[in-house]
Each structure stands twice: as C-alpha cells, then as structure tokens.
C-alpha cells in the first residue's frame, strides 16, 4: 500500500512540478528600478527603495526597507557614491544578497565640491551610459538566474535598440540649436553627463547633492552670471524644493514656467500617470522643454 501511495505522489509531482521561486530583486531608486524591469520583465519580484518623485540623496531608510533588503537575492545599485545611506541599511538588514554596481565600466566625471574632488553619480543622464547600465543588469540577472537567460538577453537587446534610437533623436533635437544658446539653469548639478554628451552647459545653485545648500556668495555669483549671459532657460527638478529657483527667477528675470512645464526629471521618475514614468520617457519629457527654453536665450 505504501508503495502504491508513493507511486501516486511521484506521478503527481511529475504532472505538477514545483515552480522555482523567482528572484527577489531590489533596486535602489526609481530610474534604476525601471531599467531592471525592462530587462527582467515578469521573471523577478522587483522592489524599488526610493520611488517616483523621491530624492535618493537625502533618503532615510525605514525598518520596512531593511526587511525588503533582508529578503533580497540581488540588489542593484547606482554606485559612484550615490546611495550614501546604503551601507547603514545593509548592515541593519543583515542581508545576504549579491550587490550589483550598475555603473561599473562608466568613466565617471570628476567634480570639485567645497574644495574636494568628488565623483558625479548621475551617469544615467548620458544615454550611452544607460546602455552600460543595461548590460550590467542583464549580465547580473543571467548569472543569478541562468534558466531565464534567453528572456533577459532578448529583453536587453530590444531595450538597447530603443536607447540607441532615442540617443539619435536627442542629438538631432539639441543640434538644431546654435551652441551659444545651449545654456540652462537647474536646481542641482545633475545634468553634467547630459551636458558633456549633447553639448549643453548646465549651471546650478546646488552641487551634485540636493543636501548641499549654496552660500550667499555662490548664489550671488550665479545670479550675476545668468544676467551677464542672458540665460532664460530656468528649471526646477521634480524632487526638489522650487523656492530657490523662484528667487533666482525673480532676481534675474529668467522665466520659470508654471507647473509641469517647469519640471525636469533628473534623479527620479514621475508616478505612472505622470510625464516621465520610465527612463526613456524622462528624456522624451526633458529634451523638448530644454530645446524650447534654450531657444529663448
């Protein structure tokens, strides 16, 4: 009788095999989370720590975030000292997850902030760098979950092709403007990679982090420069306080559009129903606004 029961159970197991548990994946912030989703699709369980419209510079992790990290198999990070809070969170969580530095292989911009040389972490603002992120994400997923290799590689290939097409469009749009008009004021210094890649000069009252408040002397110097160069392209960012840019607009006469027209997306995507819910939509939102505003310089 036991043999018969065992035979039945074995036959049932063959007919209904136990599905392998999908990878539990964490991404540090919304832009990276979208990239991971594009490559992984529905093959993983994805959690993003700093969500839409969230500021990853001053993010304060919660016990819930520690629990998410503790349960993760794979964690995708930007690196380049972007997630300054992550080591504390990892230590608190006791996670055994594999950490993936998605900016590995990118040549970082060097910047001077408060007399110190620092790395600019906003490498995703150059679409060529975006392709490096995607390849690193693909390779990490394939290594951790080889059974879904074909899915990850196919998704990544299609995504890379779309990034290439978007990069060509961005260059065409920006190159339609004379070089002397390509000047923009943003809240913090998040567009350096974009500026170098596409030939735009960005000025900002704050440094690479939204935590860095400018001094009165630095702000006065920026206002003088805006006046001297007759820069009219002035924007806030979706995850920053608009009051400083409103002051600069008042002092210089530079026009700050109202509502969403004034917003660029730099470090965070919009909510799903907003104008920049994906990494590629971020460029589709930002570039026409930049071109229109720079045309008034």
Indicate if 39 and 107 belong to the same structural domain.
yes
Q: Is residue 9 part of a domain?
A: no
The residue among 245 and 122 whose pLDDT is bigger is 122
Q: Which residue has the tokens 């530095």?
A: 101
Asked which of 145, 167, 189 is the last residue of a domain, the reply is 167
User: Is 113 in the same domain as 45?
Assistant: yes
Q: What is the pTM of this model?
A: 0.85
Domain shared by 98 and 197, yes or no: no
Structural domain of residue 262, as residue ranges? 178-294
- Mind listing the pLDDT tens digit for each residue in 195-237? 999 999 998 876 545 555 556 777 777 788 888 888 887 887 7
How high is the pLDDT of residue 222?
78
CATH code, 249: 3.40.50.1980
State the number of CA atoms in the 13 A half-sphere of 154 facing the CB: 6
Tell me if 8 is assigned to some domain: no
198-205 LR contacts (CB < 8 Å, sep 24+):
198/170, 198/171, 198/174, 199/174, 199/175, 200/174, 200/290, 200/294, 203/231, 205/244, 205/245, 205/248
Position 11 in a domain? no
State pLDDT tens for residues 102-119: 999 999 999 877 778 899
Structure tokens at 186: 């943003």
């Amino acid at each position: 009788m036991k043999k018969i029961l065992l035979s039945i159970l074995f036959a049932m197991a063959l007919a209904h095999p136990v599905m392998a548990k999908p990878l539990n994946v964490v991404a540090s912030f919304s832009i990276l989370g979208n990239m991971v989703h594009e490559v992984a699709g529905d093959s993983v369980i994805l959690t993003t720590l700093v969500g839409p419209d969230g500021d990853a510079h001053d993010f304060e992790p919660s016990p819930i975030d520690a629990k998410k990290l503790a349960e993760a198999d794979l964690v995708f990070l930007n690196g380049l000292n972007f997630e300054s809070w992550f080591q504390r969170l990892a230590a608190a969580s006791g996670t055994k997850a594999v950490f993936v530095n998605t900016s590995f292989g990118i040549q970082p911009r060097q910047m001077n902030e408060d007399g110190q040389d620092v790395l600019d972490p906003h490498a995703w603002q150059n679409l060529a760098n975006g392709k490096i992120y995607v390849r690193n994400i693909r390779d990490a997923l394939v290594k951790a979950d080889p059974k879904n290799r074909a899915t990850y590689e196919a998704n990544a290939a299609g995504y890379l092709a779309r990034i290439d097409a978007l990069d060509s469009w961005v260059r065409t749009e920006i190159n339609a403007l004379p070089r002397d008009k390509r000047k923009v004021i943003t809240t913090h210094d998040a567009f350096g990679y974009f500026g170098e890649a596409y030939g735009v000069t960005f000025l900002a009252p704050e440094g690479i982090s939204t935590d860095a408040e400018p001094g009165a002397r630095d702000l006065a110097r920026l206002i003088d420069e805006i006046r001297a160069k007759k820069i009219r392209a002035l924007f806030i960012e979706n995850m920053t306080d608009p009051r400083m840019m409103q002051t600069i607009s008042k002092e210089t006469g530079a026009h700050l559009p109202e509502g969403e027209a004034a917003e660029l997306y730099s470090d965070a995507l919009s909510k799903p129903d907003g104008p920049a819910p994906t990494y590629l939509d971020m460029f589709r939102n930002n570039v026409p606004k930049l071109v229109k505003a720079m045309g008034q310089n």
